[in-house]
Amino acid sequence: MSHTDPDVVAVRELPPGVPDPSDESVSRTWRLITARRPAPAPLWTRLLVPVTAAAMVVGLAVGATVVFRPGGLSVGAGGVPSDEKTSEPNLAPPSPEAVAALKAMAEVAAGKPTTVPPIATGQYVFVRHDGWVAVVSESSQVAKVEKQDRDYWFDPQGGLLRGSSFDGAPPRVEDQEVPREQVLGSVIHPTPKWLAQLPTDPIKLLDDLRGAMDKDAPWSIDHQVWTAMQDLYMRCDVLLNTEGRAALLRAFTSLRGITSSEVTIDKRRLLAIRHTERGSGDEILFDPTTGRAVGRRSVNVNSTLTLDPASPVRLDPGVTYQATWSQQVVDELYATS
């Protein structure tokens, strides 16, 4: 018995003449996903735009009609995948180590006055995002590690994606918009002005961040805050002033469910602050010498996978995605310096 037996083939070809899914169909499906996703959601997952859909973007962009938006943040445009809380949120108090590390880093950040570059119309935040992702064969528990290089250009007014380039490919147009339900000047869509006016009282700041989250989402409020911060840092860490950076670090000391560890990536010693929920560890990687966020990692807490020793980089146990980034303000779209 095999998949090529005549009866099986006959069933496979029923109804006859059905074409393979077109690029347009794939693109429409992705748009349905982005339109239906509840907000907030980790931006980085949306930014890893599917290649097939991305091809659509390029094709349509040539025709001056970009219809694909990778950065859907709209709320309630369709059914929400699961509106039930499928497990308990992580209500554990922050670990003492994480609190101490964050406080120390806040002091470092406060003691290093940073100059936020002035932002003029037409300028963008360019982010070079160097990532590694673990992949595994279907029949194996041994993962290989693949490189994922991403360049992004964000409009600083809202952190909206305006251009991207994957793995060295020519940059392409992106046209992320702020959904009607959301406001410009928020943790989801930060602006230079909003960032400059962050409350310096960490309690007030954390209240504000928590207040922007979806109370009915399946993930806890603090988990949502953390993943929103992953997005925010990735898009506009460079726009944070000294006070705001320190206040955020102090605010995180009251987040439930966080832990910390030291990691070494590319010979850099970094501090990983992790929020764990439902077996998923979401980390922001900080440079402890500046308090700046410089990367992120995803960790499968219950992973039994092992890495292929031939992989070009070694990821820590359970790490399924790791990326570091660098940011700068550039004067035009697709500029890299």
* Neighbouring C-alpha atoms within 13 Å toward the C-beta of 62: 5
Instruction: Please report, for residues 38, 42, 98, the alpha-carbon distance to residue 274 in angstroms, rounded to integers and kept in the order given.
Output: 22, 14, 9
List 51, 62, 91, 92, residue binding other proteins (CB under 8 A)? 51
Which long-range contacts (C-beta less than 8 Å, at least 24 apart) are formed by 119-123? 119/156, 119/192, 119/239, 119/329, 122/331, 122/332, 123/156, 123/329, 123/330, 123/331, 123/332
Q: Is residue 9 close enough to count as binding other proteins by CB under 8 A?
A: yes
Going by DSSP bridges, is the β-strand pair 306-307/142-155 parallel, antiparallel, or unpaired? parallel
Q: Which amino acid is at 210?
A: R
Going by DSSP bridges, is the β-strand pair 319-330/280-287 parallel, antiparallel, or unpaired? unpaired
Q: Convert residues 232-251 into a mask of x (bound to other proteins by CB under 8 A) and - (unbound).
A: --------------------
Using CB under 8 A as the binding rule, the residues of this chain from 271 to 310 that contact other proteins are: 278-280, 298, 300, 303-305
List 93, 141, 193, 216, residue binding other proteins (CB under 8 A)? 141
Beta bridge partners of 148: 131
List 85, 87, 314, 332, residue binding other proteins (CB under 8 A)? 87
Give me the least distance between CB of 57 and other proteins, in Å please.
13
Q: Is residue 153 close enough to count as binding other proteins by CB under 8 A?
A: no
Q: Convert residues 104-133 into a mask of x (bound to other proteins by CB under 8 A) and - (unbound).
A: -----------------------------x
Task: Considering the complex, state which of residue 83 and residue 331 has its C-beta at the smaller distance from other proteins.
Answer: 83
Q: Tokens in use for 156?
A: 């600083």
Q: Report the interface residues with other proteins, using CB under 8 A.
A: 1-4, 6-12, 14-18, 20-21, 25-26, 28-30, 32-33, 36-37, 42, 45-53, 70, 79-82, 86-87, 133-139, 141, 143-144, 218, 278-280, 298, 300, 303-305, 320-321
